[in-house]
Structure 1
């Protein structure tokens, strides 16, 4: 991707500024890909990794070029506004920052989020070969490579499975980002970090909501496994309450495109 192409993409009137900043990253299921600069850049600039002729080195070179172009755009935008991007601070201490990250990982909210991910893995390991939809086990359904071959009920179950698996790791990653930005806000008072903290917490809450809905569907379909699913739902419910307590403004945050 060259600079002219990137500028051309930016001029697209259908783009929603910043929509990619606080999404769940699930482009395959997103209704706003035509409005997303990040998606357009990937379409134009990143090789298809499933193409046998594509190589990892080519992909990395392309990503590096996109990063350099993005930095040029940022510097130009700042110059147009009579501003200068901050330079790397000489006070940055990687050991100190690493200790801050460690404290976040040990926080109650992150421990619960990580515990949820572990419970998801354990549940599917224990039950996907024991529960049936028609004549097929869950494992057999999940291993299908072509969804068109599935029966309607199997497709619904597979859809729920994908939701659970996708958000299983989105939840802790977004919570870590929100907590890290919260720490940065308290240290610097920078409004950007405050904005990022609340917005990331909003994405985490949406992910938790969708996960609760998905597990509720499983519970309704497989009531015989209620005892194994209730602890997962209780943990998610408790995590949601905790996030809402720590980030009381998150529910009201309006994400560009998604919440308008």
Structure 2
């Protein structure tokens, strides 16, 4: 009982999945479970671990269904499942084509193009040449280099995270399930909130790089992120009210 009380219910639903930087890992059941799984499966290949996880999930679902008196093999359940899957697929297509999600897709593609190009390395080399010529203070430049590396790490972490969470938030908003819940508990607002946090952190990182390398390509990326920030507020105006367990309470 004491072991269970230390965990915060649902904390893992509203985090950024960056466990290495999370101050709440000792209160996250998913983190504890994954660490235990890693320890118990050190000799297993990744596909085998995924298969074990899937089988475990299916067993849990079957057990829950049995406890509720539901026959998963009945024609009625199969028809309901098929209808629900069709609805989920339709909502997914609508979410993918929403202007906000399309904007997030444009962002990650433009951001990845810059990260994959030769421009970052060229800019750093140009910067270092200024130090060698005595145009910049070496200690200050080393500090900025460390900050630049940190900025790049932040950008890379959230690059794909942002469109995934925006699509999830749009999907949950369409679902209608959370309409009767208070804003503090709505799933669509919670997902929009963590997407907005990722956008803000990415903005700060790109702004730092732009300060070092005031290039037009970076300005275009910053413009997209600013549109995403404004779009999230427009589509999910009440997301700041959501309370993320363990983070906002």
Equivalent residues in 2 for 1:39-188 (5 A)? 39-46=31-38, 53-64=43-54, 66-68=56-58, 71=61, 88=77, 90-91=79-80, 92-93=82-83, 94-126=85-117, 127-132=119-124, 135=128, 152-185=143-176
TM-score (norm 1): 0.75
Q: 1:33 to 1:130 in 2, by over 3 A?
A: same
Q: 1:16 to 1:101 in 2, by over 3 A?
A: same
Residue 224 of structure 2: which of 229, 232, 235 is its match? 235
User: 1-side partners of 2:153 and 2:167: how far apart?
Assistant: 22
1:252 aligned onto 2:244? no
Q: 1:166 to 1:97 in 2, by over 3 A?
A: same
User: 1-side partners of 2:233 and 2:63: how far apart?
Assistant: 36
Residue 213 of structure 2: which of 217, 222, 236 is its match? 222
Q: 1:192 to 1:95 in 2, by over 3 A?
A: farther
Matched length: 228
Q: Which residue of 1 aligns with 2:136?
A: none
* SS, match of residue 121 in structure 2: coil
Is the Cα–Cα contact under 8 Å of residues 167 and 211 in structure 1 kept in the other structure?
Answer: yes
Moved more, 170-179 or 193-202: 193-202
User: 1-side partners of 2:203 and 2:14: how far apart?
Assistant: 20
Q: Which residue of 1 aligns with 2:135?
A: none
User: 1-side partners of 2:70 and 2:169: how far apart?
Assistant: 23
Q: Which residue of 1 aligns with 2:202?
A: 211
User: 1-side partners of 2:196 and 2:71: how far apart?
Assistant: 32
Is the Cα–Cα contact under 8 Å of residues 45 and 66 in structure 1 kept in the other structure?
Answer: no
Which consecutive residues of structure 2, in runs of 5 or more, have no partner in the other structure? 130-141
Pick the structure with more helix per residue. 2
Which consecutive residues of structure 1, in runs of 5 or more, have no partner in the other structure? 1-7, 137-150
Q: 1:57 to 1:97 in 2, by over 3 A?
A: closer
User: 1-side partners of 2:93 and 2:6: how far apart?
Assistant: 41
Structure with larger RCO (C-alpha < 8 A, sep 6+): 2
Is the Cα–Cα contact under 8 Å of residues 19 and 36 in structure 1 kept in the other structure?
Answer: yes
Residue 23 of structure 2: which of 14, 31, 36 is its match? 31
User: 2-side partners of 1:122 and 1:156: how far apart?
Assistant: 21
Larger Rg: 2
